[in-house]
Copies of this chain bind each other. A is one copy, B any other.
């Protein structure tokens, strides 16, 4: 079951062209990621200041299909996927009134913050992936 995050486009998200500044879509996607972690029972305060483990983004991409403007009511559909024992990625669809306005992806590595070497995903993250991952009906 994907995680759904609702978000209004703010004035600060826009630029002088009158639309959402392109890089801010990725910020909104990261917000959806934070909300989904919290919904899964993870304490954000500890998650982002954990002294031993972090999940830096090693790749991100985004496609735009239609302009997004101030006041738009976005529905962000988030689906995580495990790539291997040390990596996962997240697919995001940014939807306005049932039309996909943008799609994005972030790929994360699990690292030991002291050594910055890759390490196995802990159970809380496996549980989060399990909770929101794509489950084919057939």
Q: Which residue numbers of A lie inside 8 Å of B, CB to CB?
A: 8, 10-12, 14-19, 21-24, 26-27, 30-31, 34-35, 38, 43-49, 54, 56-64, 67, 69-72, 106, 116
Contacts and interface: CB of A to CB of B under 8 A. Distances in A.
Given A14-B15, A45-B70, A67-B116, 7 more contacts: A8-B44, A15-B15, A16-B70, A23-B27, A43-B71, A60-B61, A61-B61
Contact of A48 (B16, B57, B106): B16
A10 B24 contact: no
A70 B8 CA distance: 20
B11 A15 contact: yes
A20 to B, nearest CB: 9
